[in-house]
Amino acid sequence: MLRWNPMPVTQPVPERIWGRNYGRSLVISQQGIVATSHALASQAGAQILARGGSAVDAAIAANAVLGVTEPNMDGIGGDLFVLYWEAKTGKLHGLNASGPAPRRLSPEFLAGHGITTMPLAGAHTVTVPGAVDGWSKLHQRFGKLAWSQLFSAVIAYADQGFPVTEAIEESWSAPIAVERLMTNAESVRVFLPGGEAPRVGQLFRNPDAARCFRLLAEQGPRAFYEGEIAAAILRTLQNLGSTMAASDLAAYSAEWVEPISIDYRGWRVFELPPNGQGMAALEMLNIMETAVPEPGGPSTPGELHKRIEAMKLAYSDVYRYNADPRTNAVPVATLLSKDHASARAALIDPHRANGSVAPARIAGSDTTYLTVVDREGNIASWIQSIYNSFGSGITAEGMGFPLQNRGAGFTLDPAHPNVLAGGKRPYHTIIPGFMERGGQRIGFGIMGGPNQPLAHAQFVSNVVDYGMNLQEALETPRFTKLGPDGNDVIIESRVPASTRDALAAMGHEITLGREYTQQMGRGQAILNDASSGTNYAASDPRADGAAMPEPVI
């Protein structure tokens, strides 16, 4: 995994051997490591590991802190997906902790209120938050420390405050975020102190969130679904006309699921099954595998063109067929077959961009990602979100957390498998990733709505096709695109001008992003090498985070 060629000091060393083309160093440790998008969250998780906690214990603690320090991205008002590698059994477990629409919500209900397209925010986009029950199920199965011990850091940061960091200030103060918060008086009170988003270095306190987490720590996870926290959620939503009922919250239970996977040039790459969009990353990799990697690297015109066109084909399929598998059959096996990939790859013109990609005919977001490895080699690949910036824009009264707008992922088209129905889970964007070969196992993820599958595929290819270590693979310039239609594509400005010119000549309509832009997502990755017991971790410079090793105490 490490590209390092030592040479005898008595020989002249070519200049190209020295230095590197990426900024941060890998974090390497024989102890556990926590990698998140915020240094305070990474530190909180690492402290849990040092107290004897498992990877799940550390992930819960870190995730809780992220919900307070990055409230526009994630929190207990949202959903959770996890891939968990259990070292002692050699088994990869999957958990889908995404919540359904309220039972009484339907297209007919919305039509009766004059709503004919699925709204992007507001009370009718709030689905049952699944994160806390997901934490609970993982903790019951894989936790070591007591539940009440996992929340001391988040309570302290919520109570005492924390200085706002650069990337979070950028997204918190964005017009779309402020406009959404302004629609709800409680959101304004909690998240726009003094009438505006906090600035870099400004101390932000959220005493309501501290109180909420004390309740959660003392009374346990059911307090969220049946106790005082549940009552606050219901009171908030019902005052705004939501159909959410006490029975919707009380009946919720996260689901253990079997991961889906493909082989990519000798590595096994895993994602979670629908209703998440992980199969798009796997289909994209399958399509990419039909052509040899361009020898010049991932920023060459041929390689970037192949990746962009493979993304369009995979996304057109997932947008057409992805839905809640409990209510609609999803043709996962067909979409992930090598034959299907070959047929789709045959549609790629190596010299021309395709702006109109149709899905195959088959019979039948804002987010936070973190990953943890503990000293035993267990790996948590963990992604949690409230969806768009500040989710629904609605904050649970007196509890200090926003409620997600995952219902915006539904369509109101009655012919589509992802049509809104009460008790149904929507198309979901957040996906954790995992890959293994021999004794090397990598938990990885890159957040950002529809950006995620294409970012996963770029990361995997960087590691597998170009031999990059985790940090280089995360830092390498990426492209992103919001959907399969059109030739528009956003590319980081570190991609050479000659490559951008060649892509433009092929018909790609390029928008230039900053050198390191959050538009490309914010990734984390951890590798456990079972043969040596050594862990390697990387944290994306597009965020404010860090990979933090477990301290020896």
Which residues participate in catalysis according to the annotation?
Answer: 367
How far is the CA of 191 from the CAs of 197, 238, 421, in angstroms?
Answer: 7, 22, 32
How far is the CA of 77 from the CAs of 15, 98, 159, in angstroms?
Answer: 52, 11, 19
Long-range contacts of 303-307 (CB under 8 A, 24+ apart): 304/479, 304/491, 304/495, 304/499, 304/503, 305/350, 305/353, 305/503, 305/506, 305/508, 306/348, 306/350, 307/454, 307/457, 307/458, 307/461, 307/479
Closest CA to 421 of 432, 407, 439: 407
**Within 353-420, where are the H helices?**
none
Beta-strand ranges (E) seen in 374-439 are 379-385, 433-437
**Within 143-263, where are the H helices?**
152-160, 166-172, 175-181, 185-191, 207-219, 222-225, 228-238, 246-250
Q: How far apart, in whole angstroms, are the C-alpha atoms of residue 481 and residue 308?
A: 8
- 134 CA to centre of own chain: 15
Q: How far apart, in whole angstroms, are the C-alpha atoms of residue 412 and residue 255?
A: 25
- Residues whose CB falls within 8 Å of the CB of residue 414, separated by 6 or more in sequence, listed in order: 107
Q: Helix, strand or coil for residue 43?
A: helix
Q: How far apart, in whole angstroms, are the C-alpha atoms of residue 365 and residue 482?
A: 10
Q: How far apart, in whole angstroms, are the C-alpha atoms of residue 414 and residue 432?
A: 30
Q: How far apart, in whole angstroms, are the C-alpha atoms of residue 385 and residue 71?
A: 10
359 contacts 317 by C-beta, under 8 angstroms? yes
Q: Helix, strand or coil for residue 101?
A: coil
Residue with tokens 């992220």: 66
Residue with tokens 């964005």: 174
What is the torsional sign of CA 530, 532, 534, 538? negative
- Residues whose CB falls within 8 Å of the CB of residue 26, separated by 6 or more in sequence, listed in order: 2, 469, 470, 471, 536, 537, 538, 547
Q: How far apart, in whole angstroms, are the C-alpha atoms of residue 452 and residue 482?
A: 10
86 contacts 93 by C-beta, under 8 angstroms? yes
Q: How far apart, in whole angstroms, are the C-alpha atoms of residue 66 and residue 40?
A: 8
What is the torsional sign of CA 97, 278, 29, 20? negative
Residue with tokens 């456990």: 528
